[in-house]
Amino acid sequence: MRPDTPAAHTAEAERLLRTATQYPGDREPLLLRAAAHLELADDRPGATALYDDLLSGAPADPHLIRALKASNLWEYGHEAEARAIIEGVRRSRPADAPPWQIAAETLEAHDELEAAERTLTEAAALLAASGDDTELPHATHSLLATRHRVRRMLALPHDDWDTRADRLHQGEIPLDELHDPKRLWSLGSSDPTELQAEIARLRSELGTYRTALSRPFPVAVLHWPTEELTELLAAYPELETEYPTYRAHLTDIEASLRELAAAGTPNLGIVRATVPSYEAFAASESSSPANADLLPQYATTLAARARATPWPPLRTDACWCGSERTYGECHGAE
């Protein structure tokens, strides 16, 4: 059942916490999802406790967790602490866009538009210094669009970053129109013409978000390292038909990817599988890890989490299989 009440969000958070206890390898993403559900259940202190729990260890993305904690704290009256955390995130200069954007949107949500604009400008200078738009990840595109919106609300003139955001925008309605502050007035209008115009704008914006959410992830193939495959087959011998030997597994990976490439499939990749992660995925799907139908879904999920390594590597790079040879000398040999 989809959580849509505070009680349902609390129950979902509790389920995620139980799953995290069973599968410590996926503890961080599971606790972050649980904290999000607690926020939706209006259990702000409970969410803060989860963020603190994560930060007490060695999280993979401490900047993101701190930004989320600051956003949550500000919502239930801890403004001074939230400001201090946001300032700390800015000083640490994260190398990824999400912490910057969450910090800036927290400031924006509390009418701190000038501070939000400064934060986003610092991030743009750090993350989008390259003039090649094709090299920018989607999260940085989003950050530039957010900066464009904040500057529009401040009635600031377009600068080079705004022009770049306009160029990256793929929607039919330009950013200047989407981010026009007068749109807020249209939402409260009783004029049917104004309301219809605003509905058209919102539909265009929604279409842009849908396109972003459905952007192509790599078509990924699972790679089980030898020790992981041994553990997997010992626990779930039903999967031996999928993986008769480790050598055959490696051969199948390369052959499958070459077939996909020959068919014109773009964005190919390889994802490293682990038994605890796979078991956690199976539990989230209310299925058994012995179900071979879960394997491609598991690969797609890992790829969607940016866990895929692009294939093929350069012939002079290390081979994807983990051998000490180059790809050209190993699985990339003709």
Residue 295 lies in a domain: yes
Residues 175 and 253 in one domain: no
Mean per-residue pLDDT for 121-125?
Answer: 95
Residues 13 and 125 in one domain: yes
What domain range is 103 assigned to? Answer: 6-181
Residues 284 and 142 in one domain: no
Instruction: Please tell me the total count of domains within the chain.
Output: 3
Residue 90 lies in a domain: yes
Residues 191 and 53 in one domain: no
Residues 65 and 41 in one domain: yes
Residues 136 and 253 in one domain: no
Residues 33 and 148 in one domain: yes
Residues 48 and 131 in one domain: yes
Of 20, 4, 88, nearest to 53 by C-alpha is 20
Q: What is the CATH number of the domain that holds 62?
A: 1.25.40.10
Q: What pLDDT shows up at residue 209?
A: 54
Residue 321 lies in a domain: no
Residues 88 and 206 in one domain: no
Q: What pLDDT shows up at residue 132?
A: 73
Half-sphere exposure for 59 (CA within 13 Å, toward CB): 19
Query: Which neighbouring-strand residues pair with 118?
Result: none
Residues 177 and 188 in one domain: no
Residues 138 and 190 in one domain: no
Give me the count of residues in the chain. 334
Q: pLDDT per residue over 124-175, tens digit each?
A: 999 988 767 777 788 898 999 999 999 988 889 999 999 999 888 877 778 8
CA distances from 85 to 29, 103, 128, 199, 206 (A): 21, 9, 24, 38, 32
Residues 6+ apart with CB under 8 A from 113: 107, 150, 153, 154
Give CA–CA dist 141/124, Å, rounded. Answer: 10
Residue 263 lies in a domain: yes
Residue 323 lies in a domain: no
Residues 132 and 242 in one domain: no
Q: pLDDT per residue over 219-271, tens digit each?
A: 889 999 999 999 999 999 999 999 999 999 999 999 999 998 888 887 889 99
User: Does pLDDT of 284 surpass 90?
Assistant: no
Query: Which neighbouring-strand residues pair with 75?
Result: none
Q: The pTM is what?
A: 0.59
Of 215, 233, 265, the one marking the end of a domain is: 215
Residue 317 lies in a domain: no
Give CA–CA dist 9/261, Å, rounded. Answer: 43
Residue 326 lies in a domain: no
Of 131, 155, 181, the one marking the end of a domain is: 181
